[in-house]
Amino acid sequence: MDFFKSIAVAASGLRAQAGRMRVISENIANADTTATKKGDAPYRRKVVTFQKSLDQELGVNTVQLGRIKRDRSDFKSQYEPGHPMADARGFIQKPNVDQMIENLDMREAQRSYEANLNVITTTRRMLARTLDILRA
């Protein structure tokens, strides 16, 4: 495989995982929020999708962030009768964000990011060594 092709593929993976981490961070930041108006729904967890794209110039398939979808799972209910957003029974709706799942997703995204970064680093080293051999 061409050095530049492998760098392009890994760089697309870096961009995709960085986008994924931004969405996960938003989910974590909004995990404890409630609706801003009575009757409104709280924050709904976002889920990232990936899609394949063709780099016409290099002729390789790369990855990019696809649509960001809303998780349709149920909201959490919490009993807080004194809360301004509580219903008649004293329950408030909390976002459908599970901190454990978000932390695991973040860890996976970080490891994928690091793997792509290692591909770029290794490819650059191979390219530098190839140039050193050609100079000799």
Tell me what the mean pLDDT of segment 11-20 comes to. 96
Is the predicted pLDDT of residue 1 greater than 70, yes or no?
Answer: no
Q: Which residues pair with 52 in a beta bridge?
A: 63
Distance CA 116, CA 9 (A): 9
Distance CA 130, CA 97 (A): 49
Task: Supply the angle between the helices 3-29 and 99-135 in degrees, to the nearest 10.
Answer: 160
pTM above 0.85? yes
Domain count, the chain: 1
Q: Please give the residue range of the domain that contains residue 117.
A: 3-135
C-alpha dihedral (110, 112, 118, 124), degrees to nearest 10: -110
Per-residue pLDDT tens over the stretch 73-102: 999 999 999 888 888 899 999 999 999 999
